[in-house]
């Protein structure tokens, strides 16, 4: 007899791996931003390789998380629900909200110092990369904080 | 006045000799969802709350209750 698949556990696993994917993509983008600030050289080449590794890790971990859920959907075993019925899904939604709020505050502060930032003469793509990296990094860190293990909750009795 | 959701899921699980994973499987949620509801980290949806009460064959109020923060 085949082992039954718990869809809720599959979604939790997907959320965890998507959070790792967000962490890797955030770090990768910050490395790419650092590359733009540095003169071509040994460190720049190392960052280039590290960025490539980051892209592979991001794709790998995200696909690893999504594939089991896609498989369940394809097999007709996955029942979608109209509301989040999982602690992990709720934590992911909260993390996106937290990320948006932190990015909004950071952008507001940056706008206040716009005059000084203009003097740096850095290309626009640098700011877009930093902003995207910042959003994904804060979303993943918020998720890991919200879903941290608690010794009390693991007590069975 | 702040209200908090209290629950007796752990008591019912003990009475039915069930693990968190058993209850999660029975009502179609993950074990983490059950464990976080038990300790009050996650406020369940009405659907999950009703499923838990239905599983233990008791009224919802026997599993979940509202307590004011000043009671704690």
Closest-CA distance, A130 to chain B, in angstroms, reads: 33
Do residues B69 and B4 make contact, with C-beta atoms less than 8 angstroms apart?
yes
| pTM of the entire predicted model | 0.81
pLDDT, one tens digit per residue, over B1-43 is 678 899 999 999 999 999 999 999 999 899 999 999 999 999 9
Chain A hits for B14, CB-CB cut-off 8 Å, are: 157
Q: A155 by DSSP, 3-state: which?
A: coil
Interfacial A residues in 70-99 facing B (CB < 8 Å): 81, 83-88, 90
Helices B31-38, A87-112: axis angle to 10 degrees equals 80
**DSSP letter for each residue of B3-72:** EEEEE-HHHHHHHTT--HHHHHHHHT--HHHHHHHHTTSSPPPHHHHHHHHHHHTS-HHHHEEEEEGGG-
pLDDT tens digits, one per residue of A65-90: 888 878 777 777 665 555 557 899 99
């Amino acid at each position: 007899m085949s082992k039954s698949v718990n869809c809720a556990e599959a979604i939790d696993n997907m959320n965890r791996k998507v959070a790792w994917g967000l962490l890797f993509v955030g770090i990768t983008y910050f490395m790419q931003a650092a590359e733009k600030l540095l003169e071509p050289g040994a460190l720049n080449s190392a960052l280039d390789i590290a960025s490539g590794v980051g892209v592979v890790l991001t794709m790998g971990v995200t696909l690893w998380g999504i594939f089991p859920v896609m498989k369940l959907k394809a097999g007709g075993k996955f029942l979608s629900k109209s509301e989040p019925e999982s602690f992990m899904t709720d934590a992911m939604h909260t993390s996106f909200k937290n990320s948006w709020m932190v990015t909004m505050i950071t952008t507001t502060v940056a706008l206040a110092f716009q005059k000084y930032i203009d003097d740096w003469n850095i290309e626009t793509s640098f700011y877009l990369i930093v902003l995207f990296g910042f959003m994904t990094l804060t979303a993943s860190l918020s998720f890991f904080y919200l879903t941290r293990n608690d010794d009390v909750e693991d007590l069975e009795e | 006045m702040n209200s908090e959701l209290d629950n007796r899921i752990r008591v019912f699980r003990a009475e039915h000799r069930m693990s968190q994973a058993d209850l999660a499987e029975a009502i179609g949620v993950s074990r983490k969802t059950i464990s976080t509801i038990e300790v009050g980290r996650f406020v369940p949806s009405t659907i999950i709350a009703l499923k838990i009460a239905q599983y233990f064959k008791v009224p919802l109020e026997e599993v979940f209750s509202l307590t004011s923060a000043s009671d704690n």
